[in-house]
Every structure is written in structure tokens, then in C-alpha cells.
Amino acid sequence: MIYIILAVGALVAGIITAIAGGGGMLIMAILMMVDMPIKMIIGTNRVSALMDNGTSAYHYNKNGNVNRTFLKYAVIPAAAGTIVGTRMLAMMDGKILERLIPMILIALIIHSLTSKNVGIESKFQGFTKKTVAMGIGVTFLIGVYMGFFGMAAGSFFALALVYIFKFNFLEAVATVKPLVFLMGITSIFFYAAEGLIDYKYALFITFFRVIGSRFGSTYASKKGSKLVKPVFLTLCAAIVVKDAFY
């Protein structure tokens, strides 16, 4: 029975992650039904998320939704931040960042709901020294958070790009996918070295998440930001509620 639940959940998680990010919350909730330590759950989920984000990144890039110029600025800080985060994991309490992210999300969700045109149409007018510096800073911090815990890192990252660069939601979600994939590769070495991955479950979940991810990214590319924004904000609200009550 657990495999049937995991298959359905992974398929749905793949679709959600491709459109807005954060589908890993569903996978972790299901894995908690299995007698598995929480760190093992996080590591196992990270493997499936890696391939999920890789699939989405490929299809978004193929459809021309990824801002490749920003990737050139962000690759190094993304990797550096993730390395710092995994190194700090044993020395510091990641709860600091885990609590900070939802607080910022609340403010951004409220602003997005009161500003109906935010993220619907791209108002990107090019990069400036200021926006590039802000983008690099945010990328590094997301990398650190990814190294600590990583849950819904892509969702927060995408929302930040909407506000910094005035991307629409589709372009923001698409652009963070390759970077989150890179962060995932970097952090997964840590989990593998620590023996925190159940490969049997990881491979099973990955198969269905990749299918869902391919469908979700293709559908989102066709429907644009009018689809992505409501799904995205609903997911962000779910992250806040989950953090507040669980």
C-alpha cells in the first residue's frame, strides 16, 4: 500500500514542483508514514528532488523560459552557499533559517495578493550592478539554506527573483530550476557520505516525480504566469501554515 501512496504522491509532487516548487513537502509527509529517521527522510527526498528539478530545468530551458544571463552570475554563489550550509549543518541550528524563510514569505505573499499585476507580466528591463549584487546575495543565502534543510528553497528563490528583477512568475520559477538542481547535486554528496539516503525508496519516488515534473513544466510553459502565480502563492501559503503548526 505504501508504494501505491508513494507513486501517486510522487507524481503529484513532480507536477507541483515543476509549476511552483515545494512538492517535496508532500513526499516528506508520506515518508513519515515509513519507519525512517527524519534525516534519512530528508536525504531520500533530496535524491528525488534532484532529478525532479533537473527534468523541469531541461524542459523550461528547451521552451526558452530560463534567463541564462542570470545563471552565469548565480552558479558560483549557489554552489558556494550550499557548501557553506552543509559544512555548518553539524555546528549550527538550521532552525534560524527555517523560521526566517516563512516570515519573509508572509510579507511577499501579502504584497503579491495586494498587487495583482506582480509576476503576471515581465517588467524586466535588464541587469544593473545593484540588482546583480542582490541576486548574487539571495542566491548565496538560498544555497546556505539548501545545505541546512532545503525544503521549498526553490519557491522562496523564485519569489525573490520576481521582486529583484521584475521577472514574471514563469520566468522566475524556470530560472531557479537549474540553480536548485546544482545546489541539490552539491548537498547530496553530504547526505550520501553520511549514509542518509534510502536508495530503494529514492529511486522509486524519482521515477514518478520525473514523469510529473515533465508534465507540469510543459503545461506551465503553455499556460504562462496566469497559471503559475495562483499555484505558487497557494504553495507558499501552505509552507507558512506547515511551519506554524507542525
Report the alpha-carbon distance of residue 22 to residue 142 in Å, rounded: 14
Mean pLDDT of 104-129: 65
Looking at residue 129, its amino acid is K
Q: Give the pLDDT confidence score for residue 29 in this predicted structure.
A: 75
**Are 84 and 144 a contacting pair, CB within 8 Å?**
yes
> 2-11, 63-72, 127-136 — which is least confidently predicted?
2-11
Question: Pick the residue with more confidence: 143 or 146?
Answer: 143
pLDDT band at 75 (very low <50, low <70, confident <90, very high): very high
**Cβ contact 55:214 at 8 Å:** yes
119 — pLDDT class (breaks 50, 70, 90):
low
pLDDT grade for 243, boundaries at 50, 70 and 90: low
Q: What is the mean pLDDT of the chain?
A: 78
119: alpha, beta or left, given left = phi > 0 and alpha = psi -120 to 50? left
CA dihedral 96, 99, 100, 104 (to 10 degrees): 180
Its sign, for the CA torsion 179, 185, 189, 192, is positive
pLDDT tens digits for range 179-228? 989 888 888 888 888 888 899 999 999 999 888 888 877 777 776 555 55
Percentages (nearest 5) of helix, strand, coil residues in the chain: 80, 0, 20
Whether the predicted pLDDT of 86 surpasses 90: no
What pLDDT is recorded for position 78? 92
Q: Who's near 114: CB < 8 A, 6+ residues apart? A: none
In this prediction the pTM is 0.73
Output the DSSP codes for 55-87.
HHHHHHHHTT-S-HHHHHHHHHHHHHHHHHHHH
Cell numbers standing for residue 125: 528591463
The residue among 120 and 142 whose pLDDT is bigger is 142
Q: Which residues contact 217 (CB under 8 A, 6 or more apart)?
A: 18, 19, 55, 56, 59, 60, 63, 174
pLDDT for position 133: 93
**For the segment 3-44, what is each residue's pLDDT rounded down to a tens digit?**
888 888 888 888 877 776 667 777 877 887 787 887 788 788
* Higher-pLDDT residue of 245, 143: 143
Task: Using the predicted structure, report yes or no on whether residue 70 has a pLDDT greater than 60.
Answer: yes
